[in-house]
Amino acid sequence: MRELRETALAVKKASAVLALLDTEKKNKALFAIADALTDHTEEILSENALDVAAGRENGMSDSLLDRLALSESRIEGMAEGVRQLAALPDPIGETVEEFTRPNGLRIRKVRVPLGVIGMIYEARPNVTVDTAAIAFKTGNGILLRGSANALRSNMALAKVMRDALRAEGIPEDVIAVVEDTAHKSVDELVRMNDCVDVLIPRGGAGLIRRVMETASVPVLETGVGNCHIFVDESAKYDMAERIVVNAKTQRPSVCNAMETLLVHSVWATGNLAKLLAKLHTLGVTVHGDKTVQDMDPLAIPAVDEDWDKEYLAPELAVKVVDNLDAAMAHIAAHGTKHTEVILTEDAENAAFFLRGVDAAAVYHNASSRFTDGFEFGFGAEMGISTQKLHARGPLGLREMTSYKYIVLGSGQIRG
Amino acid sequence: MRELRETALAVKKASAVLALLDTEKKNKALFAIADALTDHTEEILSENALDVAAGRENGMSDSLLDRLALSESRIEGMAEGVRQLAALPDPIGETVEEFTRPNGLRIRKVRVPLGVIGMIYEARPNVTVDTAAIAFKTGNGILLRGSANALRSNMALAKVMRDALRAEGIPEDVIAVVEDTAHKSVDELVRMNDCVDVLIPRGGAGLIRRVMETASVPVLETGVGNCHIFVDESAKYDMAERIVVNAKTQRPSVCNAMETLLVHSVWATGNLAKLLAKLHTLGVTVHGDKTVQDMDPLAIPAVDEDWDKEYLAPELAVKVVDNLDAAMAHIAAHGTKHTEVILTEDAENAAFFLRGVDAAAVYHNASSRFTDGFEFGFGAEMGISTQKLHARGPLGLREMTSYKYIVLGSGQIRG
């Protein structure tokens, strides 16, 4: 087993070479990686089968096993994702801004890679390929610290990618798996400021909190979404039902699913019973406040914790509020600054909500489920940021870059 | 004394109001603050005199006392700085980007405040006014944690600003001084993730390292600059002398001053002795490698630590290197990614250096001293970032902002 520090130093060294590669060479290598994934499907599947068998033996849940298990089509999906990345524009080297100072200095602000990304994530092995490919395209080295349960799969995927890079004459250490999956390897990784430029934790709330609390390396916080939809007095019933159903049931396990529904009291009177009945037919459990309980015999009384809970399941907290201000106050108190939605036909209320609510993405008359790199047209994403520093919302290619100022002089000195 | 947590919660609450103020109202308040500083010069000076007297009693050095002491003209300078800020464009609300997705969703990326900035700094009271005014202009609340030595001065300055805001009908708690100057108040502040969105430590290397190592709140690392100038084979002597002298002697105590001079061996043969003699006449102490010692009888032998030292004084490490690659390798090993300079008449070497050196600012044929918010034309700065996340180099108004995505729909749901 390669020691973490040795691995990190190797990635740092290799990333300096990668940072200067031109777009054409990077894209060629991405195609080579994609082909290699397809060509080595069998080896990858046989290593993955060992992880799955061990997981089953250790009592891993069916849903986790499903996330862990690869198949020919899942591997082909990864390869296709890598090919799509190759086709996206390369942000590195882009001039963001350019200006000349009165003293004649010409200053150019140019996008550069971040350096080395430390990716800390849970079971799904597809994250290994997705994030390695995004990092590669943006000239960043990546240290992949997945979970012990997926180590064989991650090592197999990384080996295929590394072999493909070596064949292209690129230092394979730009992509490296942290082989030590003891908990303390995370603690060491998050304080390795001399080797790692940014950490991206992706997984459950506990993992993310732990990284935030122990890291000295800058962190891009991702993921926790206690997202609200507020149905205003003037919302149209049909649109509200369509959007609420979509936001709660289309894929309840993800961070941009709705977790709390806030309803204007006037709208609730005529419409809420019908809406909740519809949600019940779709298998949604409702935790409601007093007013909701009066309207919906199936509603479970909501307790304080419900307003802060990310169910990630067909479960929903529902509250009736007196007005827009009350809805916004509830969101300010309980939201996680991920995605917040207002459904209304009143343009003034919409504008007030969109301006006043503090979140990465605020919506008028659309489902919360669109906060996503692909849906935003970024082509790929590393995760969804819920912090304010550096990047908010979907983390695409550009969000994996920093910049530097290139200053061109002709002998200027400071007076 | 108000407890830190109580103060922080008050700033958080007030900052939500400030975030929505329009530019005109913010600028009017900035002018009111500037006038109030002038009007209350006497009270500020009498509180500052108490800090200075206490500092003298406690054996504070003359240079620190000089940084601590205010005067009528220094206060007028602060007021003038605040007026200049009012005149600068307000980045808040600016649409950075706007696009429409195939499903008709209109997505607008808009600049918003960061929220609450935690400023942790050392003696100089002018930082209190400068940073509070920048934070205010960008819609951010600010928690000012200065040093115990300057508490009376900081409290007096904050009182004047807060009174001026209250008179303008703006919640005064957008600007607040942390009254508890025990060390543990810093430890508490840097882990107050529910109230503080970003920390900016400004001061010595020890302070910055301590914040980086203990914070769970995101940090904008500032300041440490081990800046190099590389004099290439083709550099013109006159330009090299002018720039080297400026970068080392114009203001040696600041982070963008040169700390190590790297010289191409061919250039060194004809020119280095003369250049070092010039530096000696200006009182600069030279720590040189073997070649330098042979050329300069006054040179002190450089030890390993010299290549990593930020002298912040009229002292300089000097090394002769064989070529551009050796210079860049030295910078990669010892630089702090702040400011790096090449002096050369060879366009190819310049381009190679500017692309390959990883630093916030890289220069061709100009002094390192220009890495500064005012010199870059930003009008004001909170400090100079040496990290890669969020912002690099001078931290001006725009760097004190985040963004949010405003998504306008017409009933879209995800398929």
Of A115, A405, A412, the CB nearest to B388: A115
Q: Do A405 and B360 lie within an 8 Å CB cutoff?
A: yes
Quote the pLDDT of residue B203: 85
Residues of B in contact with A388 (CB under 8 A): 114-115, 197-198, 218, 402
Quote the pLDDT of residue A284: 98
Q: Do B409 and A114 lie within an 8 Å CB cutoff?
A: no
Q: Which two tokens stand for residue B340?
A: 């790096």
Nearest-CA distance A130 → chain B (Å): 21
Convert A184-212 to b/e letters by CB count within 10 Å (16 or more is b).
Answer: ebbebbbebbebbbbbbbbbeeebbebbb
Chain B, residues 258-277, CB within 8 A of chain A, namely none
Quote the pLDDT of residue A223: 76
Task: Tell whether A376 lies on the interface with B, counting CB pairs under 8 A.
Answer: yes
Reported confidence tier of residue B341, pLDDT bands at 50, 70, 90: very high
Reported confidence tier of residue B51, pLDDT bands at 50, 70, 90: very high
Quote the pLDDT of residue A69: 95
Contact, A3 vs A184, CB < 8 A? Answer: no
- In sequence order, what DSSP letters do the residues of A213-248 get, joined into one string? HH--S-B--B----EEEEE-TT--HHHHHHHHHHHH
pLDDT digits (tens, 9 = 90+) for A211-229: 988 999 999 998 789 999 9
How many other CB atoms are found less than 10 A from the CB of residue A280?
A: 15
pLDDT digits (tens, 9 = 90+) for A313-326: 999 999 999 999 99
Of A216, A250, A410, the CB nearest to B212: A216
Q: Which two tokens stand for residue B387?
A: 């990290």
Q: Do B365 and A411 lie within an 8 Å CB cutoff?
A: yes
CB contact set of A300 (below 8 Å; sequence gap of 6+) = A285, A286, A287, A288
Q: Do A407 and B361 lie within an 8 Å CB cutoff?
A: yes
Q: Do B218 and A411 lie within an 8 Å CB cutoff?
A: no
Of A99, A216, A405, the CB nearest to B361: A405
Instruction: For residues B225-242, give the mean pLDDT.
Output: 98
How many other CB atoms are found less than 10 A from the CB of residue B89?
A: 11
Task: Tell whether B209 lies on the interface with A, counting CB pairs under 8 A.
Answer: no
Chain B, residues 337-366, CB within 8 A of chain A, namely 354-356, 358-366
pLDDT digits (tens, 9 = 90+) for B286-318: 999 999 999 999 999 999 999 999 999 999 999
Compare all CA atoms of chain B with the CA of A235 and give the residue at the minimum distance.
B411
Residues of B in contact with A247 (CB under 8 A): 413
Dihedral sign for Cα atoms in the order B69, B70, B73, B79:
positive
Report the alpha-carbon distance of residue B325 to residue B311 in Å, rounded: 25
Place of tokens 């006392």: B65
Across chain B, mean pLDDT equals: 95
Task: Tell whether B148 lies on the interface with A, counting CB pairs under 8 A.
Answer: no
Nearest-CA distance A354 → chain B (Å): 7
Reported confidence tier of residue A203, pLDDT bands at 50, 70, 90: confident
Reported confidence tier of residue A2, pLDDT bands at 50, 70, 90: confident
Residues of A in contact with B362 (CB under 8 A): 404-407
Quote the pLDDT of residue B158: 98
Quote the pLDDT of residue A22: 96
Quote the pLDDT of residue B206: 87
pLDDT digits (tens, 9 = 90+) for A285-312: 999 999 999 999 999 999 999 999 999 9
pTM: 0.93
Distance of CA B315 to the CA centre of its chain: 22
Compare all CA atoms of chain B with the CA of A347 and give the residue at the minimum distance.
B408
Q: Do A358 and B219 lie within an 8 Å CB cutoff?
A: no
Report the alpha-carbon distance of residue B306 to residue B318 in Å, rounded: 9
Instruction: For residues A340-361, give the mean pLDDT.
Output: 98
Residues of B in contact with A197 (CB under 8 A): 387-389
Query: What's the complex ipTM?
Result: 0.94
Contact, A255 vs A353, CB < 8 A? Answer: no
Residues of A in contact with B377 (CB under 8 A): 99, 101
Q: Do A407 and B363 lie within an 8 Å CB cutoff?
A: yes
Task: Tell whether B333 lies on the interface with A, counting CB pairs under 8 A.
Answer: no
Residues of B in contact with A239 (CB under 8 A): 411
Nearest-CA distance B257 → chain A (Å): 11
Q: Do B388 and A402 lie within an 8 Å CB cutoff?
A: yes
> Is pLDDT at B401 greater than 90 in this prediction?
yes
A186-195, B70-79, B199-208, range with the lowest pLDDT: B199-208
pLDDT digits (tens, 9 = 90+) for A362-393: 999 999 999 999 899 988 889 999 999 999 99
Instruction: For residues B157-180, give the mean pLDDT.
Output: 97
> Is pLDDT at A20 greater than 90 in this prediction?
yes
Q: Which two tokens stand for residue A39?
A: 């060509």
Q: Do B408 and A358 lie within an 8 Å CB cutoff?
A: no
Distance of CA A187 to the CA centre of its chain: 22
Q: Do A388 and B114 lie within an 8 Å CB cutoff?
A: yes
Residues of B in contact with A193 (CB under 8 A): 212
Quote the pLDDT of residue A154: 97
Of A358, A376, A404, the CB nearest to B359: A404
Q: Do B358 and A242 lie within an 8 Å CB cutoff?
A: no
Report the alpha-carbon distance of residue A3 to residue A18 in Å, rounded: 22
Helix (H) or strand (E) holding A409: strand A401-412
Compare all CA atoms of chain B with the CA of A336 and give the residue at the minimum distance.
B194
Report the alpha-carbon distance of residue A5 to residue B73 in Å, rounded: 53
Q: At what angle do helices A72-87 and A41-57 cross, to 10 degrees?
A: 120
Quote the pLDDT of residue B178: 95
Report the alpha-carbon distance of residue A115 to residue A139 in Å, rounded: 7
Of A198, A361, A404, the CB nearest to B407: A361
Contact, B397 vs A354, CB < 8 A? Answer: no
> Is pLDDT at B379 greater than 90 in this prediction?
no
Task: Tell whether A321 lies on the interface with B, counting CB pairs under 8 A.
Answer: no
Higher pLDDT, A349 or A67: A349
Residues of B in contact with A409 (CB under 8 A): 363-367
Cβ-Cβ contacts under 8 Å between A and B: the total is 195
pLDDT digits (tens, 9 = 90+) for A126-161: 999 999 999 999 999 999 999 999 999 999 999 999
Compare all CA atoms of chain B with the CA of A385 and give the residue at the minimum distance.
B404
> Is pLDDT at B1 greater than 80 in this prediction?
no
> Is pLDDT at B154 greater than 90 in this prediction?
yes
- Report the percent of chain B where pLDDT is more than 70: 100
What phi, psi does B184 have (nearest 5°)? -70, -15
> Is pLDDT at B199 greater than 80 in this prediction?
yes
Contact, A357 vs A336, CB < 8 A? Answer: no
> Which strand ranges, in their side-by-side order, compose the sheet holding B401-412?
A300-301, A285-288, A315-321, A258-264, A227-231, A339-343, A361-366, B401-412, B106-113, B95-100
Quote the pLDDT of residue B122: 87
Residues of B in contact with A402 (CB under 8 A): 388-389, 392
Q: Which two tokens stand for residue B75?
A: 């206060």
How many other CB atoms are found less than 10 A from the CB of residue A87?
A: 10
Quote the pLDDT of residue B85: 94
Q: Do B389 and A218 lie within an 8 Å CB cutoff?
A: yes
Chain B, residues 14-53, CB within 8 A of chain A, namely 16, 19-20
How many other CB atoms are found less than 10 A from the CB of residue B42?
A: 10
> Is pLDDT at B375 greater than 90 in this prediction?
yes
Quote the pLDDT of residue B222: 87
Q: Do B218 and A389 lie within an 8 Å CB cutoff?
A: yes
Quote the pLDDT of residue B403: 97
> Is pLDDT at B183 greater than 90 in this prediction?
no
Quote the pLDDT of residue B300: 97
Reported confidence tier of residue A1, pLDDT bands at 50, 70, 90: confident
Nearest-CA distance B287 → chain A (Å): 24
Task: Tell whether B246 lies on the interface with A, counting CB pairs under 8 A.
Answer: yes
Compare all CA atoms of chain A with the CA of B20 and give the residue at the minimum distance.
A356
> Is pLDDT at B123 greater than 80 in this prediction?
no
Across chain A, mean pLDDT equals: 95
Q: Which two tokens stand for residue B314?
A: 């009229």
Residue of A238, A404, A408 to mutate, testing the B interface (most B Cβ within 10 Å of its Cβ): A404
